[in-house]
A and B are shown apart, each in its own frame.
Chain A
Amino acid sequence: MLALAAALALLPLVFANNYHYEVAILVGLNAIIAVGLNLLIGYAGQISLGHAGFFGVGAYGSAILSARYGWPQLAALAASTALTAALAYAVGRPILRLKGHYLAMATLGLGVIVSIVIATEDRLTGGPDGMGVPPLAAFGAALSGERAWYALVAALLVLSVWLALNLIESPHGRALRALHGSEVAAEAIGIDSARHKVLAFVLSAVFASVAGSLTAHYSGFITPSRVTFLHSIELVTMVVFGGMASTFGAVVGAALLTGLPQLLTVLKEYEMVVFGAVLMATMIFFPKGLVPSLAAAARRFAR
Chain B
Amino acid sequence: MRIASLARTAAGLFAGLAAAFAAPGAQAQEPIRIGAFLAVTGPAAFLGDPEQKTLELYIEKLNAAGGVLGRKLALVSYDTAGDAEKARTFAKRLIEQDKVDVIVGGTTTGETMAVVPMVEQAEIPFISLAGAVVIVEPVKKWVFKTPHTDRMACEKIFADMTSRGARRIALISGSGGFDKSMRAQCLAAAKGRGIEIVADESYGPGDKDMTVQLTKIKNTAGVQAVLNAGFGEGPAIVTRNYRQLGIAAPLYQSHGVASKEYIKLSGAAAEGVRLPAAALLIAESLPDSDPQKKVVLAYKREYESRFNSEVSTFGGHAYDGLMLAVEAMKKAGTTEKTKVRDALQSIRGWMGTAGVFNLSPTDHMGLDLSAFRMLEVRKGAWTEVK
Residues of A within 8 A of B (CB): 16-20, 22-23, 26, 119-120, 122, 127-130, 132, 215, 219-223, 225-226, 262-263, 265-267, 270-272, 274
Contact = CB atoms under 8 A, between A and B. Distances in A.
Contacts, number: 88
Rank and list the top 5 A-B pairs by shortest CB-CB distance, nearest first: A128-B177, A19-B96, A223-B84, A223-B110, A266-B20
Nearest to B93: A19
Nearest to B184: A122
5 contacts: A22-B92, A120-B175, A128-B176, A225-B83, A263-B20
A18 B117 contact: no
B82 interface: yes
A266 B114 contact: no
Interface string B99-137: 000000000111001101100000000000000101000
Contacts of B19: 266
Contacts of A120: 175
Interface string B170-210: 00000111001100000000000000000000000000000
A271 B92 CA distance: 20
| Listed residue (A120, A128, A215, A271) with the most chain B CB atoms within 10 angstroms of its CB | A128
Nearest to B178: A128
Interface of B: 13, 16-17, 19-20, 23, 41, 78-79, 82-85, 88-90, 92-93, 95-97, 108-110, 113-114, 116-117, 132, 134, 175-177, 180-181
A17 B113 contact: no
Nearest to B95: A19
B180 A127 contact: yes
A7 to B, nearest CB: 20
A219 B116 CA distance: 11
B84 A220 contact: no
Contacts of B20: 263, 265-266
Contact of A129 (B23, B109, B117): B109
A42 B89 CA distance: 30
A106 B301 CA distance: 52
Contacts of B114: 130, 219-221, 223
A221 B113 CA distance: 7
Main secondary structure of the interface of B (DSSP, over half): helix
Given A130-B110, A267-B16, 20 more contacts: A17-B97, A19-B89, A19-B95, A20-B97, A22-B92, A22-B96, A120-B175, A122-B180, A127-B181, A128-B180, A129-B134, A129-B177, A129-B181, A220-B117, A221-B113, A223-B85, A223-B110, A265-B20, A266-B16, A271-B79
Nearest to A122: B180
Given A119-B175, A128-B180, A225 B84 contact: yes
Nearest to B88: A219
A213 to B, nearest CB: 15
A129 B16 contact: no
A215 B89 CA distance: 12
B78 A18 contact: no
A287 B90 CA distance: 32
Given A263-B20, A267-B16, A19 B92 contact: yes
A291 B78 CA distance: 31
A221 B180 contact: no
Contacts of A221: 84, 88, 113-114, 116-117
B372 to A, nearest CB: 22
Given A219-B114, A262-B93, A130 B84 contact: yes
Contacts of B113: 129-130, 132, 221
B89 to A, nearest CB: 6
Contacts of A270: 13
A22 B1 CA distance: 43
B40 to A, nearest CB: 9
B254 to A, nearest CB: 16
Contact of B13 (A18, A265, A267): A267
Nearest to B89: A22
